[in-house]
Amino acid sequence: MDDWGEINLTQIEDGGDFWCLMEELWDDNSGFLHNRNVLVEAYKNGNLYGLYVSETDAMYERGARIDDIFCDKSWYLLPCFCIKEDNKAIIIWTHSRARKMGFAKKLAELLKIEVPADPLPGSV
């Protein structure tokens, strides 16, 4: 992370990015897989957001694209997302391998999330 560029918010509009995130959910054996219809609707309605890292020269030179932290088959997409409606996070998720790194907090900050809709125990 020392050689990363800026972490940027992105609205997930590209089908490739959507499926990268779904594969990460599957890989993580996440309970959010049961909400796949909600995820598809959020994607279709423009309410699904993720984080990308801007590539630096140092990242390019060392081949950082294949670092385990990034979604497989993506260009620096981080394995996390948020479904936002109004000022609420309906779902906010981070892959277990990327937790405790501040990505969910960054999503909430960039999306100006005021409150989670129904926080899971221990997640607030």
Q: Where are the domains of the chain?
A: 7-116
Contacts of 111 (CB under 8 A, 6+ apart): 9, 49, 82, 84, 89
For the stretch 41-57, pLDDT in tens is: 999 999 999 999 999 99
Asked if residue 69 has pLDDT above 60, the reply is yes
For the stretch 3-62, pLDDT in tens is: 898 999 999 999 999 999 999 999 888 777 778 889 999 999 999 999 999 999 999 998
